[in-house]
Amino acid sequence: MATKIGYFEDSYKFSASCHILASSQDEHGSYLTLTETIFYPQGGGQPSDKGSVAVEGTQAFIHAVRWAGDEVRHYTDREYPHLVGREVQALVDEERRVQNSRLHTAGHLLAHIVEMLCPSWRAHKGHHYPDGAYVEFVCECSNAPGIDLAQVNTALARAVAEDLPIFIQNDNPSHRLVAIGSYQPQRCGGTHVKSLKELAGFSATKQKQKGSQLKIGYSIE
C-alpha cells in the first residue's frame, strides 16, 4: 500500500499520530510501514531521518528509512508484530532533520548562485550530507571557465542576508517544486528550511575542476 507522505507539507513537523500497517523484513533488515509518515526516506542527495514510534511503553527506534516502490519502510532493530494495527506516536530526530534541511536548501542556493554567475555551468548532482556536502556541475562548452569562490561566497552571503523567500508547491506529489526567490523552481522531494536566515554561516569551501566537470564543496557553521 502506498504510504501517505506527511513531511511534504511541513519540514518542521517532528511528531504525528499514525497506525502501523505491517512489521516485516527485507534485505536491509526489519522494518515497519505506517499509514502516514513524517520520516524522510534516503534519496535525492539527502540522508534519511531517524527517530522512533511509541505506544504504551513500547518504543521502536527508527535507524534508517527507505523507499520500496511507493511504500516507505522504517527500519528497526527487530520486528514488532504486536504493534500492527495500533495507533502510535511517530517522533523524528529534530536536530538531524533541521541539519539535513539546512544542507539541502544550501545546496539548491549554491547551484542557483553558480549558474547565475557563470551560466556555462549547470548543476546536475547534489550530495547534501553533513560529512561532505557538495554540488557537481557540468559544462557543455569546449573551454570550461574557472569559478571564483570568493565571488560565489559574496553572492551567497547576500542572498542569506536578504532572506530570499522559499516557495514549495505541493499540488502534485510526483512533481513537487521548490523555489528560492526568483530563481528557477526545481523538482525536489526533500526537506527544506522556511527561511534563508537559517543558513547563517553557509559558505562554499573548496572546488575541484576536471575538464568539463566541477565539484564545489560547502558547509554551514
Q: Which domain CATH number covers 44?
A: 2.40.30.130
**Do both 68 and 137 map to the same domain?**
no
Quickly count: other Cβ atoms within 10 Å of residue 68's Cβ: 13
Question: What SS3 class is residue 72?
Answer: strand
What span, in angstroms and rounded, lies between the C-alpha atoms of 79 and 33?
A: 11
Q: How many domains does the chain have?
A: 2
**Do both 104 and 211 map to the same domain?**
yes
pLDDT in 10s for each residue of the chain, 221 residues: 678 898 888 899 999 999 999 999 999 999 999 999 999 999 999 999 999 999 988 999 999 999 999 899 999 999 999 999 999 999 999 999 999 999 999 999 999 999 999 999 999 999 999 999 999 999 988 888 889 999 999 999 999 999 999 999 887 666 789 999 999 999 999 999 999 999 999 999 999 999 999 999 999 98
Residues whose CB falls within 8 Å of the CB of residue 52, separated by 6 or more in sequence, listed in order: 59, 60, 61, 62, 90, 91
**Do both 110 and 214 map to the same domain?**
yes
Instruction: Residue 216: give the domain boundaries.
Output: 97-220
**Residue holding cell 553558480?**
114
**Do both 48 and 23 map to the same domain?**
yes
C-alpha cell belonging to residue 165: 523567500
Predicted TM-score (pTM) of this structure: 0.94
Query: Last residue of a domain, which of 92, 113, 137?
Result: 92
Query: Last residue of a domain, which of 92, 115, 139?
Result: 92
C-alpha cell belonging to residue 138: 557540468
Task: Indicate which CATH number applies to the domain containing 126.
Answer: 3.30.980.10
